[in-house]
Structures are given as C-alpha cells and as structure tokens.
Structure 1
Amino acid sequence: MSSDILRLATAGSVDDGKSTLIGRLLYDSKSILSDQMEAVERTSRDRGEEQTNLALLTDGLRAEREQGITIDVAYRYFATPRRTFIMADTPGHVQYTRNMVTGASTSDLAIILVDARNGLTEQSRRHAFLATLLQVPHLVLAVNKMDLVDYSQERFEEIKAEFEEFAAKLDVLDLTFVPISALHGDNVVDRSLNMPWYDGPSLLHHLEHVHIASDRNLIDARFPVQFVVRPHRADDPELHDYRGYAGQVSGGVLKPGDEVMHLPSGLTTRIAAIDTADGPLDEAFPPMSVTLRLEDDIDISRGDMLCRPNNQPVVSQDVEAMVCWMAEARNLVPRMKLAIKHTTRSARAMVRDLHYRIDVNSLHRDEEATQLGLNDIGRVGLRVTQPLFADEYRRNRLTGGFILVDEGTNTTVGAGMIVRAS
C-alpha cells in the first residue's frame, strides 16, 4: 500500500474538462472497477460517441446534484504504488466559493484547470486567490484541451505568462504549469508525444513526487486536547489510575521526556508516554492522533492546549481574520453574535467590526462594505468570550483556522483564517 497521502482539490470553470480529467486519472491509474468501466463504455456507445467518455465516471454525482441531493464537495480516492490520493472535486460556479473553501482548506495541492482556448477567466483567478488564501502549499495550473489549439507551445506560454503576472500579487508558495489533454490523456499519466516542446513531468508524476512532508509545521509544538481518557478499570491495576489526553498533534514533534506547558494554567510538566491503539510511540507529529500521558497531575480538560514553555501560541480574546461567509439566510454584520469552534475549543464570539470585503476577481478591497453575504470574503475583527490559543493561519493552518456557527440552527455559517491575534 502507498505510504503517504496527498490531499488535492480540483477546481475549474464549467466545461473546462474537470470531470474528464478526474475520469482520466481514475482510469489510467487503474482505480476503476471493471463493471463501472463497462457501464461507461456502454453509455458512450449508446450516445453515439466515438470514444469512451471518461467524464461519465464522475457525472453520476452531477445527476444527483441536479435532483436536489446536495453534494457540496465530492471526494474521490485512488492510489498508485507511490501514493494514496484523496481528491476533493469542488464545483466551479461563483456561488460555490464556500465549497471550494471546504475542499481546499485541508488540501496539500490544488489543481486549477484552464481551457486552452479561453485562457484565464474570472473563475480561474478566483480559484487561485482562494487556494492561496487557504495557504494550499502547492498549486498546479493545468492548461487543458491542448488538442483543440493544435498543441501550441505559443498558446501555453501565453496563458502561463498571464497567470504568472496575476500570481505575483498572491502568496503562491509553489507553482507548476502542465499542458494537458484530459480527453486524449496527453501529459495526464504519461508524457505526451504531441508536445515534445514540454520537458516537465506528466500531471500524475508531479502528484506522485511533489514533496509535502515539509509543509507541516514541525517547529511549533501544539497539542489541542480533545478528550480526557480515564478508563477506571478496577479489575486492571494498570488502567485503574490511567489518565491520558487524546487529540491530534497540530504542530511540532512531541517525544516522551519533553517539557510541555499547559494552557490556560501556564503549569509545566513532562510527557511520560505517547500511547496509540497500536502501542506506545517514540515520537508524534502532525497530523497524528495520539494520547499523551503526563508526569504530573494537572487539571486539564477538552479545549485546553499543550505547547512548549518557550514557544507558545497567542492567548487572546481578540482576533483579526479573513472570513468566508457561507450562510444563505443571513449576512454577517457588525455586532452579530455567533458560536466559534477553534481547534477543540468552543466559545461565543461577537463580530466587533468589518474592515473590508475583498473582490476575489480583482483583489480590490471594498472598505465601504457594511456586511458579508453568501460566498463573500472579508477581513473581520472578532471578540471571543474565552481566550483562544491561536497562531497565524499562514504559520499553522490547524491552529490558525476556525469555523463560525449559528447558535440557533447549529449550521456552519463561516470559515475563518486568523491574520492576527492580540
């Protein structure tokens, strides 16, 4: 089985060939059951199409969406001998900004698909902006339908130059360009003979080899406590006094013997052991879920955090953040009260002020904005009822992100990325 997992989001405008690309990746990586393939071949023949329409592999979900079954983000899984892939297929329409935010927030890489004939569209720019706002570490611009522009190197270079100019305004960490034809398979899994001028890897080769281990924050030790483990087994003396703290490592590397500080108390102790269902570990790092045992008995509960004494997150009730608003029924306005969930901590928050709304197509800041509507993104100041243990989102996506919840309906109405905590 493949050793590591790459989470990727695909984004593209309607008819950019996203379904065909995903179908091609699934087909050429042999991730499709033979009966699925036979059904697709049969449907293609029935429609009178000359070749198998790989887009049909993903169009079942589109049919469900049209029937009113809401599939916000469809996830697909496939694997090659080198890697396992979890692919978030996010819809391209402007009204689906929130879905793109959902799909990209946990992704290691985003593929932005562009039609070679149309070049960059407003949607391409919006997808790139969202991917960089969400600090997706690796970005691939896949210029599709190269077969329809006669595999023109000139056209590819034109689109590449235009995108590089736009990307210069964004915080892009790693950018790769691949000219492809998803329909014919050019440069998707295998290198294309039709584009001898392109000397880079195929798309799948890039996905298999892109280096993601160093994307995790291994410097700032962060362990939000999710659950206190107290088995209280009278029949087992070892478990009778067991007290462990379960959670997901959100940053840094933790080892038995390490000194850690508990927040909010500020008390320090050492890690006695790191337990898992498969036995003890010598070290834990993101995104592992483990149970820590500590040398001293400290009053710790869900929502607290363990960190290093000399490397602490900001402890603050005032937060500045970029918020993507996801609610249809109500808009975000100053003085609004909401619930906030940040790591394992839940609290209540009030919108202190709205600094500006950002136009995701032009990147223009509208400082006259008085509210955020569905799919709007803006910079917001929040006041929280109890302190959050936070890092800036660009430093740590796990401790820098949060969601806002409507207390009346318990629905998620916003996703936030902390710019500054004070």
Structure 2
Amino acid sequence: MRNEDMTTDRRGEAVDTPPRRSRGRWRRTAIVSAILLLLFGVPWWTLLLAGTAWPTPVVVAGTALFAAAFVALPAMMLVGRGPGRSRPDWLSAAADALLGVAWVLFVWSVLGHVLRLALFLAGVDDPVRGRAVAVTVVAVVAVLLVWGYAEAMRVPRIKSVDIGIAGLCRGLDGLRVAMITDTHYGPIDRARWSAAVVKRVNDLAADVVCHVGDIADGTVDQRLDQAGPLASVEAASARVYVTGNHEYFSEAQGWLDYMESIGWDALHNRHIVVERGGDRLVVAGVDDATAKASGVHGHGANLEAALAGADRTLPVLLLAHQPKQVTHAARAEVDLQISGHTHGGQIWPFNLLVRLEQPVVHGLSRHGDKTQLYTSRGTGFWGPPFRVFAPSEITLLTLRRA
C-alpha cells in the first residue's frame, strides 16, 4: 500500500485511510457527469419526449444520437485537451464544436418551454404543441450556430472608444491605443485570419498597440504559423504584451520570449514610458491573476514591481488580462486598466456566469475615485467556434484630456 493511503493512530500505528486523490477524482467525475446529464438530457427530453409523440424509430434514433454525443464529448475533451503536447488538433476542434452545439441546444431547449407554456395557454394540445416547440428549438439553434460561426471566424470590426483622463497632458491628448486580446490561436488554423487582423490594426496607425493576453492555446512551436503575423504589427511608439491565463496552460515564458524576439515589449511585471508631443505616459503590465498559482517560477501578478521606478505624477495605462485585477489598480490609483478574458460571454447567456467571477463583462467602467477599466470582448474565440450575441472586436482607445 502507498504511504499516502495510510495515516497513524494515537499509538503511532499505521491505519488505512481513503486516498484523498481518489475522493477528489470521484467528486469531479460526479460533478462533470451531472453537468453532462443536464446538458444533453434537457434537449433530449424537449425534442423527443415532451408531448411530441414521435414515431418509435425517430425516438430511438434521436436517443442514440444524444447518447453518442454524451459519451463522445468528455472522451474527445480528455484526449484533445488533456495533458501532453502531441494532442491531435482535429480532435480538439471537434470537441470544442460539439461543446458549443450542446450549450446552444441546451439553452434554447430550456427557453422552448416558455413557448410550450404560451401554446398551452392558447389552448394548443399535444402532440401539436410538443412538436411545434421541438421544431422551433431546432430551427433557432441551427440559425444561431451558422450565424455564430460566421461571427467567430470573421475579422473583428473596429470598436472606437474615447476615454477622458484627468491630468493627461496636452501632448498626449488624442493618443491612439489599439487593443487586441484573446486571439487564442488554437486547433483551427487561423493564420490567414491573423494576417487580416494585423492588417486591420495597422490601418489604424496607432501610437501604441497592445495584446492583452491569451495569445494562444498551445506552445510557440505549435502555433507559430498563426502567431507569426504579429511580427508585422506597426505602432508609432510601442507594441506591448502581457500574459493571460491560457499562457499558463502551455508555456508562458516561451510566449514572453517569443514576443520579445519579434520586437514587442513583454511587460512581465514592468513598465515602459511612451513620449508624445513632449509629454510622457507610463505603460505598465502585470502577469495574469492565475500566474502565481500556476507554479511557473518567477511569475505572479505584481503591480508594485510593475510600477517600481515610475514617475507617479505621470498618467498610467495598465495592461492586466482579467478585469478583476482592477482591484489592485484602483488601490494604486492607476488611471486606466485595459483587460480582456471575458469574451463578452462569447455564447449567450454565458455572460451571466462570467459576471459571477468578474466585475465587468464588457465596456468602460469606473472603479474608485480615479481608475477606469476598459474590458474588451476579445479579438478571437476560445473553444467552441461560435460567438452568439457577443461580437469580437479590435478596440481603438483614444485618450482625451478630461
């Protein structure tokens, strides 16, 4: 028996105890199984059994399809996104797509029961009522998935935002900050998309270009073709980058080194100073909020280190991947923090769940007496290749004297 499976009693004698790791594994398995049962069970019941009275072959075929998806999703996620660097990208992409389909189908199956209630109140009986709900749910889901895929894969539109900053000097008035974040270069090859994003950013003729983390899902070697166009980004004064939480799933230091190698300033808890019109702006960056817990040596968000040596009479622009990092920024009286991470929820109504963890899902907000926060919906997408009611963006922030 392994030592970790044993403890000692008061007399110092060894006694058997249930392995903690096994209990934790069973608990996680139970939670995941319950989620999957809901995710697939609600649509299964809504489309096949809730008063629909479909012919038996239809019910059997539909049940078999849901059962196969129920088994396939966790299996593909485990193999496609499990540990190791030799995971097949096609399997990851298939798992992500199935997850997105399941989520949209679940949400609109739940909402379908609102229609079911309305038809009941209107005096429509089953099976007409049940079949009307089933057909409507399938039609809405199909439209949303096609539209959501197109939204995810297109080159993001430009979102322009003017931000007034108290104390901004005249030379910095009108400074243009182009912001991309959450590109998530991953199992779907988006090298051409990446090049098109860079072209659109360059057309903005920005003073500062920022990449605010979650650059890729995978290592530099795996995603080099997709990340390569970032070397061509143009900025009048600076190109700056900070890590997001997904860098810590692969090789955070590798991505910092890569961005430095192509001419970007990797703001690993440090700052630079940008000058325009004779006036100066501190541009600082911190590691992602998950960096310290990741165990990567020398990593962990440290705003004090990032601002060490900075002239605090100057305005400060801070890059921090997660909006919740604004708590530290407000204490330090940072003028403006820019963040990503939320994707605006990516697939509605996931934004409601994101709001449970983050103070803001999207847009400009104020925190404390001085600090403002702009949260981007993100430039790319993570996982499921769909964006439903959460469009991607390339953000152009123009700093104004308040």
Q: TM-score, normalised by structure 1?
A: 0.28
| Bigger relative CO (Cα 8 Å, ≥ 6 apart) | 2
Q: Which has the higher helix share?
A: 2
Structure with the higher strand share, 1 or 2:
1
TM-score normalized with structure 2 length: 0.29
Larger Rg: 2
